[in-house]
Amino acid sequence: MPMRSTVIAAALLAAATTAWAEEPKTDATPPQDEVQWSEFQSPERGFAISFPGTPQIASAPVAGQNPLRRYSFKAYEGDDTVYTVVVLEYPSGKGPNPPEPDLYVKMVSSYAKDSQSRVRKRGDKTIAGQEGFEAIMDDGKAKAEHLVSIVPAGDRIYMLISAGPRGHATSDEAERFRDSFRIMGDAPQPAASPAPKP
């Protein structure tokens, strides 16, 4: 399975690094002092998170891994900060549950290589009640920082990426983005049992 892990990591990171480094910003982003954060919900992809504005949405099949699909949701704040959620979605019952232990390290290493950044810190992290992984990376050339959080959930792997100027990875805004993430249930929750009578 190591080859599959590498392909998965590359698939997620292709969308993630594109969101930070290559795609042009739109004129629709208001000036930073006018940015309004609000919760964005994607019931189809099973999550909700707060963005500074309405995110741009894209999707694509993962080359060589059909029917694996990648979804990207990103929003800019000002000229130098971007918030992205990348979702890798497997067919029902086919997700890595739990993911291979080295998958997180491969994903973080691939992201660092593609974004030309250096991993400063990485390790296990509980995000939205799920055991996941998190890394902080520095890009010396662009004087930028990246906070990358990876959250597995059944047949999906979520990657939350916040990138901005120096100091951003540990900023209130980066933490607010990550901490606002929540997984939305695909199936109705079982009804609560009535409390026993005393």
Q: Which of 5-9, 17-21, 88-92, 175-179 has the highest mean pLDDT?
A: 175-179
Which one, of 66, 32, 72, 69, lies nearest residue 52 by Cα? 32
Average the pLDDT over each of 25-39, 67-81, 160-174 and give the range with the smallest value: 25-39
How much is the average pLDDT of 52-70? Answer: 88
pLDDT reported for residue 11: 53
Q: pTM for this structure?
A: 0.79
**Assigned token pair, 66:** 């059909």
- The H or E element spanning position 144 is strand 144-153
8 contacts 158 by C-beta, under 8 angstroms: no
Task: Specify the residue for token string 């029917």.
Answer: 67
Task: Give the bridge partners for 183, in sequence order.
Answer: 47
The pLDDT of residue 67 is 79
- Indicate the domain borders of the chain: 2-26+36-183
Q: Which residue has the higher pLDDT, 11 or 172?
A: 172
The pLDDT of residue 195 is above 60: no
Q: What is the pLDDT of residue 185?
A: 76
Do residues 48 and 42 make contact, with C-beta atoms less than 8 angstroms apart?
yes
CATH domain 2-26+36-183 topology:
Protein Transport Mog1p; Chain A (3.40.1000)
Quick check: 22 pLDDT over 50?
Answer: no
Dig out the tokens for 40 from the structure.
């964005």
Chain mean pLDDT for the chain: 81
**Comparing C-alpha atoms, which of 116, 108, 177 is closest to residue 136?**
108
Q: How far is CA 149 from CA 3, 30, 34, 63, 160, in A?
A: 22, 26, 27, 23, 5
Q: Is the pLDDT of residue 30 over 60?
A: no
Q: Are 82 and 75 in contact (CB under 8 A)?
A: yes
Q: Which residue has the tokens 């597995």?
A: 152
Q: Which two tokens stand for residue 170?
A: 């540990």
On the question of pLDDT at 149 being above 90, the answer is: yes
Q: Name residue, tokens 């079982």.
A: 190
- At 16 the pLDDT is 52
State mean pLDDT over 146-171: 95
3-state helix, strand, coil in the chain (%, to 5): 25, 40, 35
